[in-house]
Amino acid sequence: MLINRIPPARSPKVAFPRIEAETKLSNGEDRENKPSTRPRCGPPVARPAEKPTEVEVRSPEPGPRRFGDDASREASPPAASKDRHTLYLVSCVKTKRQTLAPAKDLYVSTWFRKARACVEKTGSPWRILSAEYGLLHPDEEVLPYERTLNAMGVRERRAWAEDVLAHIETCLDGVDTVVFLAGLRYREFLEPALRNRSLAVIVPMKGLSQGQQLQWLTSNCDRFCDTRRFYQLMERLEGRVGGTRLLVECTGRMDWPKRGLYFFFEPGEARSGSGTGLRVVRVGTHALKEGSKSTLWRRLYQHRGPARTGGGNHRGSIFRLLIGIALASRSGIPLPPSWGLDGDRGTAARRLGMERAEVKRSEAELEASVSRYIGAMPFLFLGATDAPGRDTERGCIERNAIALLSAYSKASLDPASAGWLGRSSDRERVRLSGLWNNNHVDEAYHPSFLDLMEKRIDQATSP
């Protein structure tokens, strides 16, 4: 049954149309429509209208490229878990149908269709920011209009935002994050107000021109959604294993799974485009060769080094090697000539005409600095006890997680901070990927690895 509804209440100082009417609900009850109190998250409704609005865009930045395979994505099932803690707000656009239609079908521009597809993929609740009606449920039936925020003064736009905020409260139960797919005019008063409500606010297309927004929606929307899901799984894993760990506090006596993966975060490296919190800066595993005897703890121990001496051996850990080079470069101290040379100190000593003990002494200070740095990096681990070998679930998750998170040769969702230590690395793949990984950063990922992660996380327990 079609229910006639009306535009939101406006500030008395603003000359917006306002209609009072009586309606009969589908259950037969009569009620009076009062614009200032009607809910916006309930059943779809229908309302009249006025003028079109255009998508407001900002200054251009380099456009992103496609990451991943379109055909394989379309064949992939939708994400197993829906993100109900995030509310998406999508702006209305100028191009509309010229007849009564559900709000999600009223707007017919390419931009809107792509934005709608993006948010619907997430399974999250979403609403439309309408210059005429304020906050719209996607199924709410409305008539076309011509109103635009770009034609309003500051006082009118503020009144519009206050109306949206008044109605958005009923949509925020259980929500901790709001994502805007909308231009500055739509966000200017809403964004700070939502932040003041202790909500995380994400604007993934901030700073992009209209053409670049279309490119982002075409190329990066899938990656954005998959990155969001990856970090939601990280949160779930954190809960399953009892929180992040610091290697400086860990011992081999803890009940570690025999094999698994690890995800290192880095203090000062925050997510900015996909959400809040620290970003993952290294993903790794072990035992990718058949017959390998390596264990998860042994691999973590190689990264940290012996707790008793505070030292370590970078020849057994590419992670240590990379951190050491960057630390030396950042501090301006000369890198020991033996650093990274050969697979053991004895061979390096012979090549340099030095004694083995002399090589160890020359590297000791930097090794200790590396141990302190890595030891202070929070990490999560995920048990995966499949047999050693390259074609393992562990290897699949590692490769695809690195490819998903990497910014190498693609637009960065969560760019490294200006002060990130990795910017001092001598490896281009580290500097440009934003990760302490050298392999897989230039590869495409397949989103199905997230299903493997989810399965393993649901089996995870705290050591």
pLDDT at 436: 98
pLDDT-derived band at 286 (thresholds 50, 70, 90) equals very high
pLDDT at 6: 39
Domain co-membership, 320 together with 269: yes
Instruction: Say whether pLDDT at 31 is over 50.
Output: no
Domain co-membership, 141 together with 249: no
CA angle 235, 236, 242 (to 5 degrees): 90
pLDDT-derived band at 82 (thresholds 50, 70, 90) equals low
pLDDT at 37: 35
Q: What is the DSSP string of 146-212?
A: B--GGGS-HHHHHHHHHHHHHHHGGG-TT--EEEEES-HHHHTTHHHHHHHTT-EEE-TTTT--HHH
Whether 27 is in a domain gets the answer no
Domain co-membership, 249 together with 360: yes
Mean pLDDT, residues 188-210 taken together:
94
Instruction: Say whether pLDDT at 21 is over 80.
Output: no
Instruction: Say whether pLDDT at 380 is over 50.
Output: yes
pLDDT at 421: 98
Query: In whole angstroms, what is the distance from residue 108 CA to residue 92 CA?
Result: 10
Query: Between β-strands 126-130 and 245-246, what pairing exists: parallel, antiparallel or unpaired?
Result: unpaired
pLDDT-derived band at 362 (thresholds 50, 70, 90) equals very high
Query: In whole angstroms, what is the distance from residue 23 CA to residue 394 CA?
Result: 59
What are φ and ψ of residue 161, in 5° steps? -65, -40
Mean pLDDT, residues 71-85 taken together:
46
Whether 16 is in a domain gets the answer no
Instruction: Say whether pLDDT at 84 is over 80.
Output: no
Domain co-membership, 242 together with 173: no
Domain co-membership, 214 together with 266: no
Please tell me whether the overall predicted TM-score, pTM, comes out greater than 0.75 for this model.
Answer: yes
pLDDT at 237: 96
**CATH number, domain with residue 81:** 3.40.50.10630
pLDDT at 462: 61
Mean pLDDT, residues 8-22 taken together:
32
Mean pLDDT, residues 199-227 taken together:
93
The domain boundary, picked from 219, 239, 261, lies at 219
Mean pLDDT, residues 248-259 taken together:
94
Domain co-membership, 294 together with 432: yes
pLDDT-derived band at 228 (thresholds 50, 70, 90) equals very high
**Enclosing domain of residue 211:** 40-219
The domain boundary, picked from 219, 254, 270, lies at 219
pLDDT at 414: 94
Q: Which of 204, 205, 212, 210 is nearest to 62 (CA)?
A: 212
Whether 257 is in a domain gets the answer yes
Q: What percent of the chain has pLDDT over 70?
A: 82
Quickly count: other Cβ atoms within 10 Å of residue 306's Cβ: 11
pLDDT at 85: 87
Q: What is the mean pLDDT of the chain?
A: 84
Domain co-membership, 215 together with 238: no
Domain co-membership, 237 together with 359: yes
pLDDT at 3: 32
Residue 340 CB contacts under 8 Å (≥ 6 apart), including other chains? 314, 315, 321, 325
The residue among 107 and 23 whose pLDDT is bigger is 107
Give the range among 72-86, 268-282, 283-297 with minimum mean pLDDT: 72-86
Domain co-membership, 397 together with 254: yes
**What total of structural domains would you count in the chain?**
2
Secondary structure class of 347 (helix, strand, coil): helix
Whether 250 is in a domain gets the answer yes
CA angle 89, 95, 97 (to 5 degrees): 100
| DSSP label at residue 33 | -
Residue 128 CB contacts under 8 Å (≥ 6 apart), including other chains? 89, 90, 91, 92, 103, 104, 107, 135, 136, 137, 138
pLDDT at 65: 27
pLDDT-derived band at 385 (thresholds 50, 70, 90) equals confident
Q: What is the DSSP string of 146-165?
A: B--GGGS-HHHHHHHHHHHH
Instruction: Say whether pLDDT at 410 is over 80.
Output: yes
Instruction: Say whether pLDDT at 32 is over 90.
Output: no
How close are the terminal C-alpha atoms of the chain, in Å? Answer: 57
Whether 15 is in a domain gets the answer no
Whether 118 is in a domain gets the answer yes
Mean pLDDT, residues 374-384 taken together:
96
Query: In whole angstroms, what is the distance from residue 112 CA to residue 23 CA?
Result: 31
Domain co-membership, 252 together with 182: no
The domain boundary, picked from 185, 203, 219, lies at 219
Contact 327, 369 (CB under 8 A): yes
Query: In whole angstroms, what is the distance from residue 51 CA to residue 83 CA?
Result: 34
Whether 231 is in a domain gets the answer yes
Token output for 122: 């997430």
Instruction: Say whether pLDDT at 282 is over 60.
Output: yes
Q: What is the DSSP string of 36-77?
A: TT--SSSS--EE---B----------PPP---S-HHHHHHSP
pLDDT at 463: 57
Domain co-membership, 128 together with 234: no
Whether 262 is in a domain gets the answer yes
Domain co-membership, 344 together with 231: yes
